[in-house]
Amino acid sequence: MAELKIIKMSDIQPEPVSWLWEPYIPFGKITIVQGDPGDGKTTLMLAIAAAVTNGEALPNGFPGIPSDVIFQTAEDGLTDTIRPRLELLGADCDRVHVIDEGEQPLSLSDERIEQAIIKTNAKLLIIDPIQAYLGGADMHSAKGMRPLMKSLGGAAERTGCAVVIIGHLNKRSFGTRAQYRGLGSIDIYAAARSVLTVGRVGENMRVMIHNKSNLAQNGVPIAFSFDSDFGFNWQGEYYINVDDLFNNAQQSPESQFDKAKKLIIDVLAGGAVESVKIIQMAEEQGISSKTLNRAKAVLGVSSVKRNGQWFWEMPIETQFTNYGEDGQDSQDGQPRNMSFLTMFKKESGVI
């Protein structure tokens, strides 16, 4: 029988929570990113990984020190999918590592996880998806999942690494509470200190909702988009809750992209306006320059230089036409010529 040991709470030294991305992803803890297949979970985490390798600030966050990442995936090819996507996102691929599973498959309780974190000094470990790393355990069984989650949580705590596991959602939707939409035992959800849910709110638009946090107040939902023309872009705050997202509520929350389009249309309704004034108004509304330029492109706004000053001007033939997020004319469904994007390079201070 083990010797009884008692610890006084007064002997415990309190420590503040440290964050990879406050309040979404804590260091030394497990975070879950969940969503339906194809809704952008992996894309989101690749974008976060790319930012970490470069020390770039994430939305509403602060820049950090360029750090290493371990990206462990069983769904996408490293050569034809993961590395190309990381490069498109501007990641420093020298800082992205993968544990070689050629001789032995990895599981959540594998000691190689902690060894790899220590060896690479990784600040972020991503496991995609959880189903592939159970080592034969039944993910619907508390008895099977508790030891795995405890082992992984211990590795995170001892190393201080932020651990993110990606999981799919089950098919239950309407009337089902968010914590019961994740695949497997509720113990998986319970072991995580933070849970982020990714869902689709448009053809190219997704939203990340912070629906569980044991360490801080839930963060605001953050929208992002990705498509072949514009790549990956953060779109700012987007107000919708996870239950409405799951239940397909008929809501139309206004994204930063929508705000940018509305601002441009309203400001240019009376004619050309100095670009610096539009940029200033966008900043006052919390619209990023990247989002503003994307809205400018979709609306077909031109940059015109007059008397040494740059102006934005809505083409007469499109001034009263409403364009959707995909750049298509809502009247005839035909896409516009996007060659005017080259004009952005001529305008100092806009891009």
Q: Which string of DSSP letters, residue by residue, matches 4-21?
A: P----GGGS------EEE
Per-residue pLDDT of the chain (351 residues; tens, 9 = 90+): 889 999 999 999 988 999 999 999 999 999 999 998 888 999 999 999 999 999 999 999 999 999 999 999 998 899 999 999 999 999 999 999 999 999 999 999 999 999 999 999 999 999 999 999 999 888 888 888 999 999 999 999 999 999 999 998 876 544 455 555 666 778 888 899 999 999 988 778 899 999 999 999 999 999 999 887 778 999 999 888 777 777 653 334 456 778 888 889 888 887 899 999 899 888 877 787 878 888 888 888 999 988 889 999 987 654 444 434 444 443 443 333 333 333 333 333 333
Tabulate helix, strand, coil % of the chain (nearest 5): 35, 25, 40
Identical fold, 17-246 and 256-346 = no
DSSP H helices, 35-103, are 41-54, 83-88
Give the pLDDT of residue 285: 77
**Domain chopping of the chain, boundaries:** 17-246, 256-346
Per DSSP, the three-state class of 245 is helix
Give the pLDDT of residue 121: 98
CA distance 84 to 350: 28
Give the pLDDT of residue 178: 55
Q: Strands, E, within 55-193: which ranges?
A: 68-73, 96-97, 122-128, 162-168
Q: Closest by alpha carbon to 84, among 224, 198, 203, 231?
A: 231
What CATH class is the domain 17-246?
alpha beta
Give the pLDDT of residue 130: 93
DSSP annotation of 132: G
CB 190 within 8 A of CB 181: no
Burial class of residue 51 (count of CB atoms within 10 Å of its CB; 0-12, 13-18, 19+)? buried
Give the pLDDT of residue 201: 85
Burial class of residue 347 (count of CB atoms within 10 Å of its CB; 0-12, 13-18, 19+)? middle
CB 48 within 8 A of CB 21: yes
Give the pLDDT of residue 328: 41
Amino acid making up residue 292:
L
What is the value of pTM for the model shown? 0.70
Buried b (16+ CB within 10 A) or exposed e, 7-46: eeeeeeeeeeeebbbbbbbbbbbbbbbbbbeebbbbbbbb
CA distance 169 to 191: 17
Amino acid making up residue 283:
E
Give the pLDDT of residue 183: 65
What's the first-to-final CA gap in the chain, in angstroms? 68
Q: Which string of DSSP letters, residue by residue, matches 178-215?
A: GGGSBSS-HHHHHH-SEEEEEEESSSSEEEEEEEEESS
CB 338 within 8 A of CB 229: yes
The answer regarding whether domain 256-346 maps to CATH 1.10.10 reads: yes
CA distance 190 to 176: 17
Give the pLDDT of residue 179: 54
